[in-house]
Amino acid sequence: MSNEVTAEILGTHILDLAREGRRLDGRGLDEYRAVSIEHGFVASADGSALARIGHSAVVCGVKLEPGKPFPDTPNAGVLTTNAELVPLSNPTFEPGPPHPRAIEVSRVIDRAIRAAEAIDLKKLCVTPGEKTWVCYVDVHVIDHSGNLIDTGSLAALAALTHATLPAKRFGIGEDSPLAVQHFPVETTFARLGDAIVVDPSFDEELACQGRLTIATDEAANVVAMQKGLVGAFSPEDVKSLAERAFRHGDRMRKLAIGG
Amino acid sequence: MGSVGAKEVPVLLTPDGKRIDGRHLDDLREIKIVAGALHQADGSAYVEWGANKVMAAVYGPREVHPRHLQQNNKAIVQCKYNMAAFSVDERKRPGLDRRSQEISKVIAEAFESVIFVEEYPRTSIDVYIEVLQANAGTRCAGVVAASVALADAGIPMVDLLPSVAVGKVAGQIVLDLKKEEDNFGEADMPMALVPQSGRLVLLQMEGHMTADELGRSLDLGVKGCRAIYEKMKQALRDRYETGAGPAAGVAQ
């Protein structure tokens, strides 16, 4: 049987299950897979974490280096987020220039960090207009088993909250913790028929009729959203998903900041 | 947003609730839609929306390039949203940047949600959006133009796809942000609505909103989309009902 046919059969099965309030892996509709975070996974990074949601695994490394500020924001640091969906993470990924889906993952993670003002960029300024810290957040997907946005944003938040400004290495003073002032967390939902499940698995993402990511901060703000894939959500869906996102976000935030 | 250490913040809202261009909180900018504005395309539309100028063209259903993207059970929808180098104050480097690619992806997915793709297996429906002059809300203007262009091309769809951005400016929820409001406001939320089902097929957001503000923004956006929906239908009527003939052209 071709992949197309098996995917179609599996998709139909997933939708049938969802109609009865069930999921392929036995989870409830509003239940995440097991979440774990290992802080400081990469010693060569200034902040890092390995986050797992179910079988999805993402390593995030934060690197801080002195650089030049943008001309239009002379008093602010620079933040760049990049996500790589490397070919080892999934049989469907090929080497080459970044696929739009990788670009979307990085931009959605970046948007939450930026919009929540997770990092006080003004504090990264060393000499206005000349020298500032540039904060690179590199998200490396090593196992794609669904819901990369949540896994990646969790890894990023965990890496940032434990990052060190390596001032000594660059002769700009003493090392200090990177000042993280807000803590955005992304919560992703997928529509399966009339049901809307949290934390879609790889197969659920293939079968779903629309995906919605809602990023929340610790002060009960929605800071970013992204609807993706083919499908639709009503405004009432979005309102109730925001409430669910606040609840999941609080739990994830504690895990990311944790130990 | 993105205003860290930036230039002076203009007064975005006067004490009597008027916006920087004199609009009320729930007013749209002026919108002009021309269906059938290009000669070569299978369908096209031109939109002037405030100070935005956006052209959209649709080609297809036609053969898929590259071939491996072809789907045996449906048409694929490909979208290229592009900003001209001269469309913004500071010249934009031409070519596909990451922002354009992300926008292209979510717009393609939005249209695939309303087009009857299963009627055209093994083909591609290509949607091209060119932003000629930009003043916030270009992806929404692009969706509106592309949607009218798809209708002009005779592509069967569930419905047209009106689109608008809602945002938060000086603490207030406002409809259809212009550039200053986008740059210095507290939140921006573009959306596209399927009027028939009342569902959203495009939704993005960046900024700060409480659950209550989010709810009010969604409601205001739906209202805005429904107003734009009427203008889109009128544009198609103007092209096909009055017997005015094809290709009214941009200049007219």
In this predicted model, what pLDDT tens digit does every residue of B208-232 receive, in sequence order? 999 999 999 999 999 999 999 999 9
Contact B206/A235, CB-based, under 8 Å? no
In a domain, A245, yes or no: yes
Answer whether residue A1 shows pLDDT above 70.
Answer: no
Partner B contacted by A212 (CB < 8 A): yes
- Long-range contacts of residues A98-101, Cβ cutoff 8 Å, at least 24 apart: A98/B98, A100/B101, A100/B102, A100/B104, A100/B105, A101/B105
Q: pLDDT 10s per residue in chain B (252 long)?
A: 444 444 578 899 999 889 999 999 999 999 999 999 999 999 999 999 999 999 999 999 999 988 999 999 999 999 999 999 999 988 888 888 999 999 999 999 999 999 999 999 999 999 999 999 999 999 999 999 999 999 999 999 999 999 999 999 999 999 999 999 999 999 999 999 999 999 999 999 999 999 999 999 999 999 999 999 999 999 999 999 866 555 544 544
A12 part of a folded domain: no
Give me the amino acid identity at B200. L
Q: Which residue of A has its CA nearest to B112?
A: A230
Whether A9 is covered by a domain: the verdict is no
The reported pTM is 0.89
Cβ atoms of B184 and B9 within 8 Å: the answer is: yes
- Sequence-distant (6+) residues with CB within 8 A of B172 are B13, B17, B25
The CATH fold assigned to B31-238 is Ribosomal Protein S5; domain 2 (3.30.230)
Question: What residue ranges in B36-160 does DSSP mark as E strands?
Answer: 43-49, 52-62, 76-83, 124-133
Question: If you compute the radius of gyration of chain B from its CA atoms, what whole number of angstroms results?
Answer: 18
Q: What is the pLDDT of residue B66?
A: 87
Quick check: A242 and B209 in contact, CB under 8 A? no
pLDDT digits (tens, 9 = 90+) for B12-50: 999 988 999 999 999 999 999 999 999 999 999 999 999
Shortest distance, CA B29 to any CA of chain A (angstroms): 23
Query: Count of domains in chain A?
Result: 1
Closest C-alpha to B201, from A210, A216, A39, A207: A210
A13-43 pLDDT tens trace: 999 999 999 999 999 999 999 999 999 999 9
* pLDDT value of residue B117: 98
pLDDT, position A181: 96
Q: What is the DSSP letter of B171?
A: T
Helix (H, G, I), strand (E, B) or coil at A20: coil
Q: What's the CA gap between A85 and A242, in Å, rounded?
A: 28
CATH of the domain at A208: 3.30.230.70
Look at residue A113 and tell me if it is in a domain. Answer: yes
Whether the Cβ atoms of residue A214 and residue A225 lie closer than 8 Å to each other? yes
Residues 240-259 of chain A with CB under 8 A from chain B are 242-243, 246
For the complex shown, is ipTM > 0.90? no
Range of weakest confidence among A148-152, A216-220, A252-256, B240-244: B240-244
Contacts of B194 in chain A (CB under 8 A): 232
Minimum CA–CA partner of B204 in chain A: A226
Tell me if chain B has a CB within 8 Å of the CB of A233. yes
pLDDT at A259 over 70: no
pLDDT over 90 percentage in chain A:
88
Structural domain of A145:
28-257
pLDDT at B5: 45
Contact across the interface for A100 and B203, Cβ inside 8 Å = no
Cβ distance A115 to B206 less than 8 Å, yes or no, reads yes
Q: Are A73 and B4 in contact (CB under 8 A)?
A: yes
Q: Is B55:B38 a contact under the CB 8 Å cutoff? A: yes
